[in-house]
Amino acid sequence: MKRLIALFLTLVSLFAFCSMAQAEDYVPTAAAPGGAPALALAMMAAENPDAYRFVAADTIAAEFASAQADFIIAPINAGAKLFKAGKSAYQLAAVVTWGNLYFASQKADFSLESLNGASVTLFGEDTINASVARYALEKSGVVPAEITYLAGAANTQSLLLSDAEAIVLTAEPALTAASIKNDQVKGFALNDLLLELGMEGFAQAGLFVRPETAEAHPEAVAAFLAAAKESADKCADDLEAVAGAAVALEILPNMKVAMSAIPNCAIRFVSAQDARGAIEATANIDLKQYGGAVPEDGFYFTAE
């Protein structure tokens, strides 16, 4: 009997050891839309490209639904709306981008005052981007004569380049690409208006974690989040390395665009718990974009 008990304990110990080894060796996968949000993980993806997928922005809802990736970078409002509707169990682990939107024009001496009484073209009429832009203008006392909309930043970039009188909302890296093509193009950050209004910026894109992964592989998830913070920090601390990674991964087209655009993309890793106030401030600009209410406690990931 003692031999059986000893054998049983040996097998239990062996199983526990193997399980721990598997957890420690587990390599999380991640999905992200191309462009500015993907820059937060560029250094990690360059080191292990097989674990990362860069997808079209309009497929992000499908990424949440499939629940295949351990981590997803996505607009925070999109993840919150899906979570509230019961269409996603992913929890927000961190905010990684804080607003890459810019008002831009070829007009001489272009400034915030140029928008007063002017025709302004935004992109994405029923989106959080447009809502934040309208809020910032209204609270700053800027009253355009007319606001029209195009589908996306690529569309407003085309208008910006084709019409010397146009005033548009665009985004980085599109603004940098436009200014390289035409040195008359100038822009100022929407975030500058938000900072003057007492906001930390626009809590734009976040890093979401699949709860099953967090439960099964807590050490791997913790290590991934620590590495993600280090990767995001390098956007400020080691610009050339991040630019090289972004070009190699085809997130950005070339080093010239990358070196100019990355500092303007507001990449900054802040844990979801620490960023909750900023997230709620952004959500309260247009609660419809968050499913009608600020996210509840269960939306925020907390490591146990």
- Please tell me the distance from the alpha carbon of residue 267 to that of residue 95, in angstroms, as a whole number: 9
The reply to whether omega before 173 is within 30° of 0 (cis) is yes
CB atoms within 10 A of CB 111: 12
- Please tell me the distance from the alpha carbon of residue 228 to that of residue 111, in angstroms, as a whole number: 36
pTM value? 0.90
Q: What is the pLDDT along the chain (304 residues), one digit of tens a residue?
A: 334 333 333 333 333 334 333 445 899 999 999 889 999 999 999 999 999 999 998 899 999 999 999 999 999 999 999 999 999 999 999 999 999 999 999 999 999 999 999 999 999 999 999 999 999 999 999 999 999 999 999 999 999 999 999 999 999 999 999 999 999 999 999 999 999 999 988 999 999 999 999 999 999 999 999 999 999 999 999 999 999 999 999 999 999 999 999 999 999 999 999 999 999 999 999 999 999 999 999 999 998 6
DSSP E strands in 41-162: the ranges are 52-55, 71-75, 91-97, 101-105, 119-123, 146-150
What are the chain's domains?
A: 8-98+203-299 (3.40.190.10), 101-196 (3.40.190.10)
